[in-house]
């Protein structure tokens, strides 16, 4: 059996005793890598916040658009019901009630059922007053005519989001 001499030969040095190691590096690589890791973490967190903000903005825009479309549908539905000018219809009775209530007096909004799930829409009719027909109308001189102006107001909200829209359209009716 051979014994291992633990003493070093005079010309050899241990790695840790190297003068170059003692002077040049004292953990700088660790500090630089930690700083780089911190910068990468900050960039990652910032990009996550940006994507979350963009997702919220997209959802808000979609909810606002749904509210607008529901309000538009409610006012369009009321307009279609008024269009045949059937004086015995419920909608024309509402129009005459609005006329009796006075100019720009808010009437009771009627719920619109076609808005879809998660949305509530109403339609309202307001009387704006009478307007004279301009000269040269085609109704003839012996026919008494008058024109009434109304506003159709569609209002809708998307429940749970705070999105709300209001659509106002003007309607003129000529009676003779």
Examine residue 2 and state whether it is found in any structural domain, yes or no.
no
| Domains identified in the chain, total number | 1
Which pLDDT belongs to residue 157? 93
Residue by residue, DSSP assigns 96-119 as: HHHHHH-TTPPPPPEEEGGG-TTE
pTM above 0.85, yes or no: no
pLDDT at 94: 79
76 occurs within a structural domain: yes
Q: Could you tell me if residue 22 is inside a domain?
A: no
Within-domain flag for 154: yes
Would you tell me the crossing angle of helices 90-101 and 28-82 to the nearest 10 degrees? Answer: 100
Q: What is the model's pLDDT at position 90?
A: 78
Q: Which residues contact 129 (CB under 8 A, 6 or more apart)?
A: 103, 148, 149
Q: How far apart are CA 171 and CA 126, in angstroms?
A: 10
pLDDT for residue 92: 77
CA distances from 116 to 70, 71, 113 (A): 8, 11, 7
Walk along the chain (176 residues) in steps of 10 and give the mean pLDDT of each run: 56 54 68 95 96 94 93 89 74 79 80 82 88 62 71 91 92 73
Q: Which of 40, 62, 39, 42 is nearest to 50 (CA)?
A: 42
Q: Are 43 and 140 in contact (CB under 8 A)?
A: no
pLDDT at 109: 84
pLDDT for residue 28: 83
Instruction: Please indicate, yes or no, if residue 16 is contained in any of the structural domains.
Output: no
Using the CB atoms, write b or e for 106-117: b if 16+ within 10 Å.
eeeebebeebee
Length of the chain: 176
Q: Is residue 43 part of a domain?
A: yes
Domain hosting residue 40, numbered range = 28-135+142-175
- The answer to whether position 15 is within a domain reads no
Would you state the pLDDT for residue 17? 54
pLDDT at 34: 94
Please check whether residue 119 is in contact with residue 158, taking contact to mean a CB–CB distance below 8 angstroms: yes
Q: Which residues contact 139 (CB under 8 A, 6 or more apart)?
A: 133, 145, 174, 176
Q: Judge whether 53 lies within some domain.
A: yes
């Amino acid at each position: 059996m051979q014994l291992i001499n633990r003493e070093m030969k005079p010309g050899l040095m241990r790695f840790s005793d190297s003068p170059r190691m003692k002077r040049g590096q004292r953990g700088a690589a660790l500090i630089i890598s930690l700083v780089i890791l911190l910068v990468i973490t900050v960039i990652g967190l910032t990009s996550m916040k940006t994507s979350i903000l963009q997702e919220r903005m997209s959802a808000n825009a979609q909810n606002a658009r749904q509210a607008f479309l529901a309000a538009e549908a409610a006012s369009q539905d009321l307009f279609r019901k008024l269009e045949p000018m059937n004086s015995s219809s419920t909608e024309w009775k509402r129009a005459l009630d609005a006329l009796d209530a006075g100019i720009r007096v808010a009437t009771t909004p009627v719920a619109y059922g076609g808005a879809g799930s998660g949305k509530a829409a109403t339609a309202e009719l307001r009387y704006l007053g009478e307007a004279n027909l301009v000269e040269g109308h085609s109704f003839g001189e012996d026919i008494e005519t008058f024109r009434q102006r109304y506003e159709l107001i569609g209002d809708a909200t998307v429940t749970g989001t705070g999105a709300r829209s209001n659509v106002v359209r003007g309607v003129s009716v000529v009676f003779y």
